[in-house]
Structure 1
C-alpha cells in the first residue's frame, strides 16, 4: 500500500519552539490580525457536508441503461403511432421513478445531515490573552487550552499536559482512553493510536488538562482526510453493474437480429418487399422483446423489502442497496459499537468481591468533572451488587499519571486514614508488602490473554502524623484484589454471525484495536479457533499485492487498522468479492463509502451515517442477516422476471422473425405484438410478490448473464418450436385466424412459463405462488380469450372470432408447451448440478 502523507506525522518529533516557528506563531499566541490573515488563507474550521438535494435523488431514478432503453422503446412506439403502448411504457418508467424517489427522499429526510463536528467555542490565546472564540474561527498557529469534557476542535500538538487522557474510540475503536503527553516522539511514522503528543479533532478529553498548538483545521485535519475519502469515493453497486450488462446484451442482440431479418427479407423478396411496413414491423418486434416492466418489478420488490425492513426499524437510504445486500459475499465490521457495546464492564474479580469493588469506587478521583470508562464500570458493578459505602471522605489524592500508571486517594474511613492505590498490575504488584502468590499472577495472565484489561487495587493504613506522598504508594501495600474489564459483546452478535455464515457469508472484523483484544472478540463469536489468528495492518501492508489478496481472503480478524488502511483493505476484498461493511465511528466512514453496501448502527457518527446505504435503528445485528435474506428474495424474484421474459419474448421474437421470411404477409401485426406485451406484463409485475424457495436464498448470488442467456436460449428454442406449431396449425386457414389464435397461444404460453421458471424444481414441489400472481394470471387469460369476440378486438386489433375447436387446440398446445418447458428446465438444472459436483471433485 502506498502510505498516505498524513499531516500529523510532520509534528511528531518537533518541540514547541520548532512548531511555533513552522506555523508563524509565538508563545503568546497569534494576534487578531495574524489570525484574520490565516483565516482568509486556510478557510473556516468546518467540514462541508455532501448535501443531497431532491433534484439529485429524482435524477438518480433515471440513471440506468435500462431506463434509457425503455425511453427509446417508448419513442419507437410513438413513431408507430401506437400511443397506448408508448404511454404504457412511459407509465412504467414514471411509476418506477416516483416509487424510488419517494422511498429514498423520505429516508434522506429521516436522517440528520452531517453536523458540525467541533464544539461551539474554544479557549484560545490571542494577543497574549485567553479568550473564547467560535471554533470555526480557529486557524493553524492558535494556542488552545483543553479540559475534561471538551471535544478537541482541531488537530493539535501538545505543548503542556497534566494527566491528560483522551477518548479516541471514534477514530481507533479502543474503548479505554489514550494517555497524552507533550513529549516529542522519536519517530515521524507512528499510527494514530501511538501519536501520544497529538490531539485529533472530534476526540474527547476525559480527564486532566492540556494546551497545544493548532496545526490543522477543517478539511486538513485527520478527520477531514477521512471525510474527503467519503465524498470522493463513488462505487458502482452490484445492481448497477448487473443491469448495465443486461441492458447492453439485450440491445446488441436485438439490433443484430433485426438487421439480419431486414437484410434477409430484402435479399429473398427483392422488389416485392414493402420496406416501410418491414421497418415498422421490425421496430414493433424489437419493442416487444424489451422487458419494459423490469424496472417496475425491481422497484416493487425493493419497496416491499424496504417496508419489511422498516418494521424492524431499518432505514434504507438507497433502495437498490436491498438487492445489493443479498449479493454480499463478505461482511466486514469494526467490532466497537457493532459487535461490542463500546463501554467497559467488570468481567471478573480476584479477591473478596465486595471489598474489591468498594475500594475501587473509593479510589475514584473527586477532582475530575467527567468520569472515565473505568470509573463508570466500577460504579455500575457497585450498583449491581447492591453495595453501599460507609461514610467516608477523601482528604487528599494523587491523580492518575501516565508514567506511574496508577492513582491513589487518602480517605478517612471508619476513623482511620486509608490509602487506596489503583492501577495497572505492573505498577502495583512490586510495591506490595508481601510478594503476590502464583494464583494472582496466573489469574492476571489468563485475563490478559482473553483481551481483558486488569486493574489491581491495594491499600495501607497511615498514621495521622504520616505525610501523604507518592513514596507512600510504593511500600508496604496490602493487596485488596484485582478486577478485569471487557467491552462486552452485544447479545445478538454471535447468533447473527453464525446465521450469516450459514447463508454463505464470510464475516470479518477490521478494527483499530489491539491484536489481543480483536483476537479475543473473534474467538468469542466463533470466527477463529485460535486467539492469535490475527493479522495487523503493519504486517499486512508489508506483503506484496498477491499475498495481500490471499491474507484478505484467509484471515477473519484484522487489528490496528487505521481508517485509511480499512479503506485499502475493503478495496482489495472488492476485487474478488461483493463486500458489505458495518460500522459506527468516524474511523469507519471511508470503508463504508467504498463497500458495495454500507451499513451503520444507531448512534453512529454523522460522517459514518452520511456514508451509509442502510441504517439500523435498534442496533441488532440480527436485522442485518434478515436484510440479507430479504435482499436475496428480491434478487430471486427479479431474476425470475428476467428469465421468463427473455425466454418467452425471444422465443416468440425468433419465430415471428423467421416466419416473416416464409410468407408474403406479416405473421403478426405490430399492434397485436404490442398487445401481447401489455397483457403478459401485468401478471409478470406481480412476480415481485412471489414466494421464494429456500434453495434460492442459501448462498449469495450475482447477476449471471451467462445463465440468463443459456436459459433464454434453451426455453426460447422450445418457445420457437411451439410458435411454429401454432403457425403450421392455423396459417392454412387465413391470416386473420393465424393472427388471432397465435395471439391467444403466445399469451397463454408466456403465462404458463411463469409457473415453470419461477422455481428450479418441478413446479409442484416448489413453494406455492403468491395469490396476486394467481389472480392476475386468471384475469389476463380471461381478457385474452374474450378480446377477439369484442368489437374493439375485431376493429382495432383486427382479430376474428375463434371457434371452440380452435380454442381447444390452442389450449392443448399451450399445455404441451408447459410440459416441454418443465422437462427442459429440469434437465438443464440437473446437468448444471452434475457439472458443479464434478468441478468440486476435481
Structure 2
C-alpha cells in the first residue's frame, strides 16, 4: 500500500487529483475512465461447451478406444483381402458409442455445475453514492474511478478500495477478506506506520467488505483488478488448472494397458505364426489384434463417467455441487482438510454464551430460565436500548455483538423495536474507542434512565454501586476484583466480555460528561461465534477416517485455540502457529513442522497458499474449505477446493472444485464418504474388467499355443467385452455405499489404481482361466469321430480332434468348425462365470471388524441376471449363434449331448465357489489366527485407543468443572 494513500488529506487530494469536499468533475471522471477502465473484477475465461466436449475426446483412454475402433475396421479389411461387409463395422460402432457417451456425460455435468454456480452468485452490489460536481448522486459501482468521493452507511457493501477521510463509529466486517470474525473499527486518522497486514490498515475500506455500523466518507484509491479482491481474482484466473489424482491415475492406467495390448498382439501373432500354418497369417493377425483389443477395457471410460455422474446427483441432494466429475474421487482421497473457521466451523453469528451475574458465572441458557425480577428487567433493557442494531425478518443490520445482545433478549421476550418504541431514546453518548463505552438515555415509564455498556475494566471504574440478587448496595474493591477475575476467565476461553450498568439521575446532572459516572453495575455477558453443533461430530468423523483437520483463520491465536479445543482439533498452544512465526520460517523449516500444527492464526491470503503448498509437498492430498475472498488463492491451489454456497463470495466459488449449498462442514465429510465409495466402485470395476480380460486372453493364448488355432472368434470376445462385461461393470457403480470405508485411513502419497487389487486380480485370473480351459476340453469331449470326418470331408481320417487342430495341412476354416463344441462351452464359461462372481468382488474394510456387513447391490444382481439371459439367447437363436458367433448349431443337440450347455454352466460356477472358499480361509486366518507380529500390533493399537478415550473423558470432565 502506497504510504501517501495512508497519510494526510492534502497529500491524498494531490496524488488522486480530487477534491474531498466537491468530488471529481465530469471531465475528470471521463478522463480517468479512459485511464483506469471500469471498476469490475476480472472474470475467468468461460470455455464454450464444444471445446469442453472436444477436450474430453483427447483424454488418453478415449484416444486408445478410438484407435481400437479404427483397428477393428482395418483388421477385417486386411484379413479379407480388401473385402469388407457391413457387419464388420459393428465393433467400431459400439466402441465409438461408448466414447461419445463418456464425452457427453462429462460435458453435460460441467455445464450443469457452471449453471448451478451462476445461480449461487450473491455478492452483486452494483450501486454507490458519490459526490461529483459538488453534488451527491447514486451511480453504478462499475462507474467509480480513483479520486471519487463515496458516502458510506451501515448495511452497505464497500464498492471499491477507499481511503476513509471522515468517519463516525465506523466498523466493517472484513471476514470475507481477512478471515477475522469480529468487525474492525475504522478511523479517518492518518496511519503513522505502514503495515502489510490487511486487518491492521485502519483507515482503508476494502472492496466487497460490509459496513456493520456507523457512517463514513471515503475517497476511491483503487478500482477493479487493482483492489485486494481484484488481485486475488486475477491470480485465480491466471492459475493453470491441475489434473485430479483420478485423472492422473487413469492416464497412467491407459498407457499401461496400451503398452500391454501392443506387446500381447506381437506375442500372440508370433506364437500362432510359427506354431501353425504360415498361409493363415491374416487370420492370426486378426486373432492377435482382437485379443489385444480384448485387453483394453472399452467400457471403463463410460463406467467411470456414469459412476461419477450418479454420485454427483446423489451429492446434489446432500447439498454438494460438483463442478468437475473427477473431483468426487479426489475428495475421497483427501487426508488433510484445511478449513476456514468463521462461517465454516462456526456459525458466523456472535452469540451470548455466559453471564456474569450476582458475582457468579452462569450459562446463558440457565439465566434465561430465571424469574424475571427487577434486576433482570433492567439488564434486558440495557441489552436492547443501549444498542443500535436492527433486526426485521431476515434483514439484520448492525454490529454482530449488538445483534447478539438483541437476539438473546428476544429469547427471553424483549423485542428491540417494540422496546425502543415504548421506551424512547432522548439522549446518547456514541461509542468511542478511547472511552470504550456507549451510553443512551431512555424514558422508562416517565423516568429518564441512562444505560451504559462497555469494556468491563473501564465500566467498573465508573461504578459506585452493584445490584446482587435484586438488591442494590455499594460496590467494594473485592467485588471489582472478583468480577475482573471472572472476566479474565471468560476471555481465556475466547469470549468477548461486555459489561452493563445504569443510573437514574440524568435529570439532576449539570454536565453531560457526568453521565457515565456513579453507575450501578448490572452484569456482563460473554459472547463468541460458537461452533456449529454438526462441526464437532464432523471433525470426529474426519479423525475416525484418518483425516487431519487444520483450522486456518484470520482471528487471534487465543480465539482460534478456544474454538479448536471445543472441536477437539488442538489442545495446547504448541499446536497453534501465528502469522508472525510463519513469516520467520523458511520453506524447509515449515515442511518439518507443517503436519504437527493444527491451527494457523492471524493469517493473510498468501499464508494460506503457502500452508496448502507445504502439505502437498509432503505428499498429502489436501482440501481447502472457505467462503471469503481471502480463501480463493488457497482454494485454487489445493487438490480439492470447497467453497461455501450461501456465504461464499463469487471469487471463492470460481476458484473451487466443489460448492456446499448449506455451508456445513459436516457436508464435506459426507462428500468424503461418497468420494471413497466412488473410488472403491471404480477400483472394483477395474479389477473385474482387467481380471476377466486377462483371464480370457491367457486362456485363449494357452489353448492357441496347444492347438495352433484360437479357441474363440473375435465376435465371441467382443460380445463378452461390449455386452456382458459392460452391463456388469456399469452396474457396479450403482450400488449402495459401504460405510466401513470411513474407518480406513487414506493412503498418503502417490498410489496406483491397482494398489490393493493384487489378490482380487489373482483370484479372477486363476479361477476364470482354469474354468475357461476346462470348459473348452469339456465341450470337445462331444466331438465324435464321425462328425470330425464329415468336417474334414475324409471318411478315412482316424486322428483325434486335437491332432486335426495341430495338422498344418488342414484349412483354418475347417479347424474353426472342428472347435464348435469347445468354443460353445468356453463361450458359456467366459460369459457366465463373471456374472456369478461379480457380486463377490468386495474391496470393503473386512479387516477392520470380525462382523461382516453384507451390502446387496440390487442393480448388479439384475445386471448379472440380464447378462445370463442375453447369453442364453445368443446361444440358442438360430443364425445368430452359428453365423455370427460361430457356436454350435441348435440342430446338433441330441440325446447324447443335451447336457453340453448345463455342464458348461456348472463349470462357470466353479470360479465363484473356489473364490468364496479362499476368501473364507483368508478371513478366518486373519481374524482368528493372526501371526505373532500382527497380534502384538493389534494389542498395542487397542491400548493406544484406550488411552485416547481416557484423555478425552478427562478433558470433558475438566471442562465441566471449569463451567
TM-score in terms of structure 1 length:
0.90
What is aligned with 1:36? 30
Q: What secondary structure, in the 3-state scheme, does the structure 1 residue paired with 2:558 have?
A: helix
Q: How does 1:514-525 map to 2 (within 5 A)?
A: 514-525=556-567
Q: In terms of mean alpha carbon deviation, does 720-729 or 550-559 score higher?
A: 720-729
* CA separation of 1:396 and 1:554: change in aligned 2, threshold 3 A: same
What is aligned with 1:492? 534
Distance 1:188 1:259 in 2: 72
Q: What secondary structure, in the 3-state scheme, does the structure 2 residue paired with 1:149 have?
A: coil
Distance 1:837 1:541 in 2: 44
Structure 1 residue 194, shift from structure 2 partner? 1.2
RMSD: 3.5
Alignment coverage as a number of residue pairs? 833
Distance 1:417 1:282 in 2: 100
* CA separation of 1:570 and 1:199: change in aligned 2, threshold 3 A: same
* 2:501 maps to 1:458: yes
What is aligned with 2:405? 378
Distance 1:592 1:294 in 2: 30
Distance 2:266 2:18 in 1: 75
Q: In terms of mean alpha carbon deviation, does 77-86 or 268-277 score higher?
A: 268-277
Structure 1 residue 818, shift from structure 2 partner? 3.2
Q: Specify which of 15, 20, 27 is matched with residue 8 of structure 2.
A: 15
Instruction: Give per-residue Cα distances to partners, 1:634-667, cap 9 Å, x unaligned.
Output: 2222111100111121122233235444444333
Q: In terms of mean alpha carbon deviation, does 802-811 or 295-304 score higher?
A: 802-811
What is aligned with 2:607? 565
Structure 1 residue 548, shift from structure 2 partner? 2.0
Q: How does 1:131-170 map to 2 (within 5 A)?
A: 131-170=137-176
Distance 1:11 1:716 in 2: 75
Structure 1 residue 219, shift from structure 2 partner? 1.1
Q: In terms of mean alpha carbon deviation, does 688-697 or 434-443 score higher?
A: 688-697
Structure 1 residue 524, shift from structure 2 partner? 1.4
Q: Contact 1:692 / 1:767 at 8 angstroms: preserved in 2?
A: no
Distance 2:51 2:505 in 1: 72
Q: How does 1:346-361 map to 2 (within 5 A)?
A: 346-351=352-357, 352-361=375-384
Q: Contact 1:151 / 1:202 at 8 angstroms: preserved in 2?
A: yes
What is aligned with 2:295? 289
What is aligned with 1:527? 569
- Extract unaligned runs of 5+ from structure 1: 1-7
Q: Specify which of 71, 95, 102 is matched with residue 76 of structure 1.
A: 71
Q: How does 1:36-435 map to 2 (within 5 A)?
A: 36-50=30-44, 51=46, 53-59=48-54, 61-62=56-57, 64-80=59-75, 82-112=88-118, 117=123, 119-127=125-133, 129-233=135-239, 234-265=241-272, 268=274, 272=278, 274-351=280-357, 352-365=375-388, 370-387=397-414, 391-433=422-464, 434=475, 435=477
Structure 1 residue 493, shift from structure 2 partner? 1.8
What is aligned with 2:901? 807
What is aligned with 2:638? 595
* CA separation of 1:17 and 1:55: change in aligned 2, threshold 3 A: farther
Q: Contact 2:426 / 2:443 at 8 angstroms: preserved in 1?
A: yes
What is aligned with 1:670? 714
* 2:868 maps to 1:781: yes
Q: How does 1:544-583 map to 2 (within 5 A)?
A: 544-575=586-617, 576-583=619-626
Q: Contact 2:6 / 2:203 at 8 angstroms: preserved in 1?
A: no
What is aligned with 1:539? 581
Distance 2:488 2:97 in 1: 69
Distance 1:70 1:439 in 2: 78
* 2:487 maps to 1:444: yes
Q: In terms of mean alpha carbon deviation, does 364-373 or 292-301 score higher?
A: 364-373
Distance 1:839 1:171 in 2: 51
Q: In terms of mean alpha carbon deviation, does 754-763 or 32-41 score higher?
A: 754-763
Q: What secondary structure, in the 3-state scheme, does the structure 1 residue paired with 2:214 have?
A: strand
Q: Contact 2:776 / 2:823 at 8 angstroms: preserved in 1?
A: no
Q: What secondary structure, in the 3-state scheme, does the structure 1 residue paired with 2:434 have?
A: coil
What is aligned with 1:771? 858
Q: In terms of mean alpha carbon deviation, does 48-57 or 299-308 score higher?
A: 48-57
Q: In terms of mean alpha carbon deviation, does 211-220 or 584-593 score higher?
A: 584-593
* CA separation of 1:548 and 1:666: change in aligned 2, threshold 3 A: same
* CA separation of 1:65 and 1:26: change in aligned 2, threshold 3 A: same
Distance 2:389 2:254 in 1: 68
Q: Contact 2:390 / 2:398 at 8 angstroms: preserved in 1?
A: no
* CA separation of 1:812 and 1:11: change in aligned 2, threshold 3 A: farther
* 2:733 maps to 1:705: no
Structure 1 residue 553, shift from structure 2 partner? 1.8
Structure 1 residue 202, shift from structure 2 partner? 0.8
Instruction: Give per-residue Cα distances to partners, 1:611-636, cap 9 Å, x unaligned.
Output: 34333334444433333222222222
Instruction: Give per-residue Cα distances to partners, 1:783-835, cap 9 Å, x unaligned.
Output: 33453443211112222247345435534443333344456667888789979
Distance 1:825 1:541 in 2: 54
Q: Contact 2:544 / 2:742 at 8 angstroms: preserved in 1?
A: no
Instruction: Give per-residue Cα distances to partners, 1:672-711, cap 9 Å, x unaligned.
Output: 2212213322223211223455444432466533444665
Structure 1 residue 181, shift from structure 2 partner? 1.4
Q: How does 1:599-638 map to 2 (within 5 A)?
A: 599-604=642-647, 605-638=649-682
Distance 1:395 1:791 in 2: 100
Distance 1:9 1:451 in 2: 35
What is aligned with 1:480? 522
Q: What secondary structure, in the 3-state scheme, does the structure 1 residue paired with 2:454 have?
A: strand
Instruction: Give per-residue Cα distances to partners, 1:179-204, cap 9 Å, x unaligned.
Output: 11123334433311111111100112
Distance 2:276 2:10 in 1: 93
* 2:825 maps to 1:736: no
Structure 1 residue 531, shift from structure 2 partner? 6.6
Q: What secondary structure, in the 3-state scheme, does the structure 2 residue paired with 1:112 have?
A: helix
Q: Specify which of 737, 742, 748 is matched with residue 832 of structure 2.
A: 748
* CA separation of 1:365 and 1:740: change in aligned 2, threshold 3 A: closer
Q: Contact 2:29 / 2:145 at 8 angstroms: preserved in 1?
A: yes
TM-score in terms of structure 2 length:
0.79
Structure 1 residue 122, shift from structure 2 partner? 2.7
Structure 1 residue 724, shift from structure 2 partner? 4.3
Q: In terms of mean alpha carbon deviation, does 130-139 or 635-644 score higher?
A: 130-139
Q: Contact 2:345 / 2:532 at 8 angstroms: preserved in 1?
A: yes
* 2:686 maps to 1:642: yes
What is aligned with 2:544? 502
Instruction: Give per-residue Cα distances to partners, 1:397-435, cap 9 Å, x unaligned.
Output: 121122332222233445444333221234323333354
Distance 1:598 1:646 in 2: 32
- Extract unaligned runs of 5+ from structure 2: 77-87, 358-374, 465-474, 781-799, 802-817, 941-963
Q: Contact 1:598 / 1:613 at 8 angstroms: preserved in 2?
A: yes
From the CA coordinates, give the structure whose radius of gyration is larger: 2
